[in-house]
Chains A and B, each alone.
Chain A
Amino acid sequence: MKRYDLVIVGAGPSGLSAAIEAAKRGMEVIIFDENEKPGGQLFKQIHKFFGSKEHHAKIRGFKIGQELLKEANELGVEVVLNATVIGLYDDKEITVKIGDGINHYKGDAVIVATGAAENMVTFPGWTLPGVIGAGAAQTMMNLHGIKPGNKVLMLGSGNVGLVVSFQLMQAGCEVVALVDAAPRVGGYGVHAAKVARCGVPFYLSHTIKEVEGDEFVTGVTINQVDSSFIPIPDTEKHFDVDTVCMAVGLSPMSQLLKMAGCEMEDNPKRGGQVPIIDDYGRTSVPGIIAAGDVSGIEEASSAMIEGRMAGICAAEYLGYCTKEELEENLKILEDDLESLRQGMFAPKNRGKLIEKTEEGIDISTNLLEKGYISEKEIERYPGVTHKVGIHPVIECTQNIPCNPCQDACKKGCISIGANITNLPIVKTEGNCINCGMCVASCSGQAIFLVDEDTGDGSSTVTMPYEFIPLPEVGDKGFGLNRKGEKICEAEVVSVRAVKAFDHTNLLTIKVPKEYAMKARFFKALA
């Protein structure tokens, strides 16, 4: 049996963050992870993260993973891969399956950062090859470079369903529909809007009736459900697909904590069976600390902060830092975490219908029910203002904790203020120089640069564009509206792909003047 100061289970965002904080304070740390590669789900996250600078905002998930790994390695953290922790016993004895053998370890402190597992729903045909989890889709396309399917139906409109739908299109798959039994989109409106404007229809209050196929998926039938989720007769719609993807939530993988004798509870707001913890992740068993999704489903940004808290708590528990240092650090981290847990999608608001923004503006019902903001609704938000010449138009209409756009603009056009969940305001007195940094900095791809009247009966619209092939100047095609419908002819007049934009290329199209506030995507002539 080998002893370590700290044993961490799980090398995802929270486990690595915990290891870094503990190792910094002189602890001997080992992490076990059952996967072949470290980083948890971070290496599948190819989108830019939300938050503020402190939360790694506008950095893509896989890059955050690379940074964390590098830091942990430099601090001498030992990461053991293909190592499944199968037991956590009294006195923090741990059994780990490595290869065909069982190895025995002991940690003076233990951090459990095992994350979560995907939920599923069942329907006739759900076991057919071709019905997959959204995580599987991300693993296939973003880690292994293979399309999960050619024509995909997505079940689930939470952030995972929305983000993965977009990623499927980036990988070259067609997403035929996004379906959710709930009456409203569960994830961020900006994620929904970027999927909808590519032309993906949203079917809220719908669920899967059955998936068809003998050996593998060949089609799927959905039907509408009433407010009690009972199918409504004669509302079936059929789609020819080869893949059905499920993104119907996550459940904490808390079995080890239960095994270790930690007090547990069933808490639907935290995603299921979770340990009872204090504000910093400490369980009822001294020296066993939980961090990340295992103690409540959130996302990677908060998992990293929770991991850091856990690492410092473990250090203090074993005397590697003073109580004063602990308290000082926890306070800073707690403020960071608290700022992420604000806004319409905060854990405390889960399941609540929010009808107005914090500013008192009506939330777009069209966005919640169809995935895009209607032309009538868009004008009421503070990011949508008008002036002569180029100016940003920010279609960010829900209070989410995110503010990189404010820092990106050096010309005073964009203001969010100290409260990072405020809706961005576009100030008409700002002096937009068409630099495009705001467009590329927006993790929600919700910023456009618009010149409503270029003087020749046209207008120009600059949009974020993360697909290939990247159109070229002179390419002709169509302007698409927020729903993804062709509404006018369009010509590409500028394409900007600079390193600072980090693969969010800027595409500028020329459309007739009357479409300046309507055209939000481009489709080239086939």
Chain B
Amino acid sequence: MASRIAEHPILGVQEKGKLVLFKFDGKEIEGFEGEPIAVSLKAQGLMVHRYTKKEHKPRGVFCAIGRCTDCVMIVDGVPNVRTCITPLREGMDVRTQYGVSDKPFE
């Protein structure tokens, strides 16, 4: 699975915020404070951010700069949060979005 770049030939070792815990669908996982939520998820190999309302198709990161809105999730109870540009904070509650709800489709 995709993982963090330990050392980069041009950029060296990336500076990150402190390692914090947050929740993904109720499960506690780790990420670096201040990095986009989507990056923390990707580091854990989590690719699916939401399922579309009509056809229930999976979606994940596409543009990574807050433009396409494919990566939106429910963050601290608010739906349609663009996770690729929303910084991770300790204790955040991040949930897969089904349509605009956090309830999986029947």
Binding site for B on A (CB under 8 A): 34-36, 46, 60, 117-118, 127-133, 135-137, 139-142, 144-150, 170-172, 214-216, 242-243, 466-468, 470, 503
A216 contacts B60, CB within 8 Å?
Answer: yes
B47 contacts A150, CB within 8 Å?
Answer: no
Known: A34-B66, A36-B87, A170-B8. 20 other contacts (CB 8 A): A35-B66, A35-B85, A117-B67, A127-B70, A129-B47, A129-B58, A129-B61, A136-B61, A136-B84, A144-B35, A144-B36, A145-B8, A145-B16, A146-B4, A147-B3, A150-B1, A170-B10, A172-B5, A242-B1, A468-B7
Complex CA distance for A76 and B48, rounded to whole angstroms: 43
The dominant DSSP class at the A interface is loop
Indicate if B21 sits at the interface (CB-CB under 8 A): no
> Quick one: CB contact mask for B2-35 with A, threshold 8 Å, 1 for yes?
1111011111001010000000000000000001
Q: List 14 A-B contacts (CB under 8 A).
A: A118-B63, A136-B65, A136-B84, A137-B64, A146-B3, A146-B4, A147-B4, A149-B2, A150-B2, A171-B8, A172-B5, A214-B58, A215-B58, A503-B10
* A residues near B85, Cβ cutoff 8 Å: 35-36
Give how many B residues have a beta carbon under 8 Å from the other chain's beta carbons. Answer: 35
Complex CA distance for A242 and B86, rounded to whole angstroms: 24
* B residues near A146, Cβ cutoff 8 Å: 2-5, 39, 42-43
Q: A118 to chain B: closest CB distance in Å?
A: 7
A170 contacts B42, CB within 8 Å?
Answer: no
Q: How many A-B residue pairs have CB under 8 A?
A: 104
CB-contact partner of B39 in A129, A144, A172, A466, under 8 A: A144
- Of residues 54 through 87 on chain B, the ones whose CB sits less than 8 Å from some CB of chain A are 57-67, 70, 84-85, 87
CB-contact partner of A142 in B11, B35, B58, B60, under 8 A: B11
* A residues near B2, Cβ cutoff 8 Å: 146-150, 242-243
B65 contacts A216, CB within 8 Å?
Answer: no
Task: Given A145-B16, A146-B2, A170-B10, decide whether A35 and B64 contact each other with a Cβ distance below 8 A.
Answer: no
Closest 5 CB pairs of A and B: A129-B60, A136-B64, A145-B14, A129-B47, A216-B47
Indicate if B95 sits at the interface (CB-CB under 8 A): no
B9 contacts A135, CB within 8 Å?
Answer: no
Complex CA distance for A144 and B8, rounded to whole angstroms: 11
* A residues near B67, Cβ cutoff 8 Å: 117
* A residues near B9, Cβ cutoff 8 Å: 170, 466-468, 470, 503
B5 contacts A141, CB within 8 Å?
Answer: yes
A135 contacts B58, CB within 8 Å?
Answer: no
* B residues near A172, Cβ cutoff 8 Å: 5
A140 contacts B42, CB within 8 Å?
Answer: yes
* A residues near B14, Cβ cutoff 8 Å: 144-145
Complex CA distance for A145 and B6, rounded to whole angstroms: 8
Complex CA distance for A145 and B65, rounded to whole angstroms: 15
* A residues near B64, Cβ cutoff 8 Å: 132-133, 135-137, 139-140
* A residues near B57, Cβ cutoff 8 Å: 127
Nearest A-chain residue to B71, judged by Cβ? A129
